[in-house]
Amino acid sequence: MAEVMLRGNPIHTVADLPEVGSQAPEFSLTKTDLSDVHLSDLKGKRVILNIFPSIDTAVCATSVRKFNEEAGRLENTEVLCVSLDLPFAHNRFCGAEGLDRVSAVSELRNRDFGNDYGVRLLDGPLAGLLSRAVIVLDVNGKVLYTEQVPDIGQEPDYQSAIDALS
Dihedral-angle region of residue 76 (phi above 0 means left; psi in -120 to 50 means alpha; beta otherwise): left
Give the count of domains, the chain: 1
Reply yes or no on whether the pLDDT at 141 is more than 90. yes
Q: Residue 97: its pLDDT value, please? A: 86
Q: Residue 125: its pLDDT value, please? A: 95
Q: What is the per-residue burial (b if ≥16 Cβ within 10 Å, else e) of 54-79?
A: ebebebbbebbbebbebbeeeeebbb
Residue of 4, 6, 49, 60 with catalytic role: 60
Its domain, for residue 101, covers: 3-163
CATH code of the domain containing 137: 3.40.30.10
DSSP 27-42: -EEEETTS-EEEGGGG
Phi, psi of 31 (to 5 degrees): -85, 175
Count other C-beta atoms under 10 Å from residue 91's C-beta. 18
Q: What is the pTM of this model?
A: 0.95
Q: Residue 99: its pLDDT value, please? A: 84
Does 60 participate in catalysis according to the annotation?
yes
